[in-house]
Amino acid sequence: MQKNWSFCVARLATTFIRSSMRWKSSSARPSAPLGSRILTNPDDIFKHNMWDHVQWTDEHKEDAWQKATENSSFQLPLAEQGKFDTDACQYWDKFYEMHQDKFFKDRRWLFLEFPELLPPCAEAQDTSTRHSHQQAIIPLRKGSTMDTETGNHQHSDPIQSHRKTDTIYYQEAAQERNEAAIQTTSFPGQHASFRIMEVGCGVGNSVFPIVNNIKGKDAFLYCCDFSPRAIQMVKNHPDYDDSVCHAFVHDICEEVASFPFPPQSLDVILAVFVFSSIHPDRLQAIVNRLSTSLKHGGIFLFRDYGRYDFSQLRFKKGQCLSENFYIRGDGTCVYFFTKEEIHDLFSKAGLEEIMNLEDRRLQVNRGKKVAMHRVWMQSKYRKPDPHSAL
């Protein structure tokens, strides 16, 4: 009995340590939550639909590069490209008209990959990951910082701290003024202590898993899309509840378009397979604008297509708009990112990297005996807290 108990304790400790280690380096490959089904025997390839953390051989890298080079060797003339940008809303509206809510499945994996979506008062599904994340972002008292690897407090130099006093004072004063404005301004979700916004929500495949998890937890979700048809489908969904959710039509490419909440009022922004549908030249301005909606310490969560994903290599000549940016048969567009591009995109907006991973997996069609190399980017960036400079 004692041996069994000791084994359980040791097992739990090992699990916690491994989970905590994922926060030490944004480039490290975590064993969870991105999965841990590793293909060690090639004969087992068709035993499961998906294999995690796939290592590409030099031969496969070269083959992927050649296919992408070939399908982008001819690019559509600029005169023909404009309509896919200016009429993007119409193409997506037609997409939702045709597929309704049958094309994508609800993203029930959200809280495993992004536990930050849960309000602080909610019970985290992965306790060790939540605990590790809180250690990494919790603001500390003035005059001290925390080493996120050891958990030890380190007192800063008093002279250096004194030099920062005026800057921090004005930053805190600005934050207090903004919080006061939020208290007095009337807007949806005004009284919630935890606010999330999903951009490009489509028909709600992320919305409703979130809504069903934040009810009764003093949290509120905003969700927007530039397709009026998609937003109407969200509002018509039986789980839509305007006491915890506000869906609205919004084009994040529009510089003058406003949000139904004040600046610096969001705890989390979520963008899942959204930025890839936008021309890459527009993205920096979009991230810059969206970042102004985050509170200090707020988190930007991102997941999208990675460079040389199977879907990129399937494109034919004549579907390329610009480098790594393609047009599908239905008129919608898709871009394929690298880690470096994602880091530049968010860091130039003034956000700090928490995680920036290239998620390589092997997806299998067991019926047709086909294996597909998938590449997705998964990233988390934080808006710096003035306290962290102390």
Cis amide leading into 33 (omega within 30):
yes
pTM for the whole thing? 0.74
Alpha-carbon distance 11 to 22, whole Å? 17
Domain boundaries, the chain: 42-118+193-389
Residue 150: strand, helix, or coil:
coil
Q: Let me know if domain 42-118+193-389 sits in CATH 3.90.1150.10.
A: no
Confidence of residue 40 (pLDDT cuts 50, 70, 90): confident
- Residue 134 amino acid letter: Q
Residue 249 tokens read as 């039509």
8 A C-beta contact, residue 198 and residue 210 = yes
Query: In this model, does residue 209 exceed pLDDT 70?
Result: yes
Which helix (H) or strand (E) segment holds residue 302: the answer is strand 294-305
- Write out pLDDT tens, residues 290-327: 999 999 999 999 999 999 999 999 999 989 999 999 99
Query: In this model, does residue 10 exceed pLDDT 80?
Result: no
- Write out pLDDT tens, residues 147-199: 323 333 333 444 344 444 444 444 454 455 555 555 557 899 999 999 999 99
For residue 49, CA distances in Å to 96, 105, 372 come to 27, 16, 10
